[in-house]
């Protein structure tokens, strides 16, 4: 049987950093208030000329460098993003051109914060069925450009960045199980009101930005993390003690802690970077994974559980041997 394994990982963060103290200067908030409710200390914000595509490209290059592969080796590119560079072509195609990769499929997946895991699920299926040998799965976001900086309820939460992995075909299990789901019933709890077909007009104050019912999203996120984790572990006839590291979507430290407690994992086995990166949506899991791999916490052979929850609502998980 053919499996897909992570051969390399990379990430990219914009140079510009906005701290909670910086936000105190432009809105009615405080460092203490933000930390208490979210655990966030700072976030990276894309500068002039930095886009979802340019950041995704840099993360992809770093992942390819770790994997020891060239653009000619890549035969599939999937980008999870809610903030593409253009309406069309896909930002994955833009990254493909800039890499110099040609011929293989390249497309975007729009599943908000679950976008990277949706992409991982799809790429895993391509590899397992022989449709690809080496695939790039990227999560990249410029959420700052759909953030209302006058709304402290959302502005303090989001940041920009990108992460990527190279998947390659192998004989030994890498990705052992993936699950993805959605329920559009909760559409208006976390959304941007405007869009291409219904009309996009940034002059309609507040409507072109992220809107969120924070309390409702918090409750659904914690419950969903628990259910998706148990579904994934049960699929493999496993136990929570089999997990070396839990790598969740980095939305809010309170959500991460509550989810870990509900699942039954101590925080010592949870990768959390939301304090430094804020919520980078589809980029958050590969960003956190890359940091933990490069600082030596996650090692080859470790068993990882990843889980995400996002607008839609969408949610997903992956269990793998790194």
Positions marked active-site = 113, 249, 279
Residue corresponding to tokens 């659904």: 220
Which residues are CB-contacts of 188 (< 8 A; sequence separation ≥ 6)?
213
CA 322 to CA 316: how far, in whole Å? 18
CA 241 to CA 253: how far, in whole Å? 22
With vertex at residue 71, the alpha carbon angle to CA 65 and CA 76, rounded to the nearest 5 degrees, is: 105
CA 24 to CA 31: how far, in whole Å? 7
User: 64 — phi, psi (to 5°)?
Assistant: -65, -40
């Amino acid at each position: 049987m053919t499996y897909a394994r992570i051969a390399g990982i990379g990430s990219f963060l914009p140079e510009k950093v906005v701290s909670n103290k910086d936000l105190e200067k432009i809105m009615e908030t405080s460092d203490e208030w933000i930390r208490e409710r979210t655990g966030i200390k700072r976030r990276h914000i894309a500068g002039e000329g930095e886009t979802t595509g340019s950041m995704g490209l840099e993360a992809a290059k770093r992942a390819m460098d770790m994997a020891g592969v060239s653009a000619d080796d890549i035969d599939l590119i999937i980008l999870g993003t809610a903030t593409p560079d253009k309406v069309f072509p896909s930002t994955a195609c833009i990254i493909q051109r800039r890499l110099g990769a040609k011929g293989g499929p390249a497309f975007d997946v729009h599943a908000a914060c679950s976008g990277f895991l949706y992409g991982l699920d799809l790429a895993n299926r391509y590899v397992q069925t022989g449709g690809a040998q080496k695939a790039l799965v990227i999560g990249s976001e410029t959420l700052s450009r759909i953030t209302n900086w006058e709304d402290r309820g959302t502005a303090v939460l989001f940041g920009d960045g990108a992460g990527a992995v190279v998947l390659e075909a192998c004989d030994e299990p890498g990705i052992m199980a993936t699950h993805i789901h959605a329920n559009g019933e909760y559409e208006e709890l976390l959304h941007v009101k405007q869009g291409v077909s219904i009309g996009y007009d940034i002059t309609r104050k507040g409507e072109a930005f992220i809107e969120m019912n924070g309390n409702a999203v918090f409750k659904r996120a914690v419950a969903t993390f628990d259910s998706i984790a148990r579904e994934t572990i049960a699929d493999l006839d496993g136990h929570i003690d089999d997990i070396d590291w839990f790598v969740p979507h980095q939305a809010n430290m309170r959500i991460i802690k509550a989810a870990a407690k509900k699942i039954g994992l101590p925080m010592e086995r949870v990768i959390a970077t939301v304090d430094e990166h804020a919520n980078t949506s589809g980029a958050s899991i590969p960003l956190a994974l890359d940091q933990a791999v490069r600082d030596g916490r996650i090692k080859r052979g470790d068993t990882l559980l990843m889980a995400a929850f996002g607008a839609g609502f969408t949610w997903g998980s992956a269990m793998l041997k790194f």
